[in-house]
Amino acid sequence: MTTAPDQQLAIRTVRRFYDLVDSGDVHGLAALFAPDGAYRRPGYDLMVGPEGLRGFYGRDRTIRAGRHALTTLLTDGHTVGVFGEFQGELHDGTPVHLRFADSFTVCPDGLFSSRDTYFFAPLV
Give the 3-state DSSP-derived string for 40-73, with helices as H, strands as E and coil as C: ECCCCCCEEHHHHHHHHHHHHCCEEEEEEEEEEE
How many CB atoms sit inside 10 A of residue 111's CB? 16
Residue 124 has pLDDT above 60, yes or no: no
Radius of gyration of the chain (CA): 14
Q: What is the pLDDT of residue 123?
A: 60
Do residues 74 and 83 lie in contact, with contact meaning Cβ atoms separated by under 8 Å? no
Q: Over range 101-111, report the average pLDDT.
A: 95
pLDDT band at 1 (very low <50, low <70, confident <90, very high): very low
pLDDT digits (tens, 9 = 90+) for 37-73: 999 999 899 999 999 999 999 999 999 999 999 999 9
Q: What percent of the chain has pLDDT over 70?
A: 94
31-to-4, 92, 115 alpha-carbon distances in Å? 20, 28, 14
Backbone angles phi, psi at 57, to 5 degrees: -75, -25
Helix (H) or strand (E) holding 16: helix 7-23
Do residues 32 and 16 lie in contact, with contact meaning Cβ atoms separated by under 8 Å? yes
Residue 121 has pLDDT above 80, yes or no: no
Q: What is the pLDDT of residue 99?
A: 95
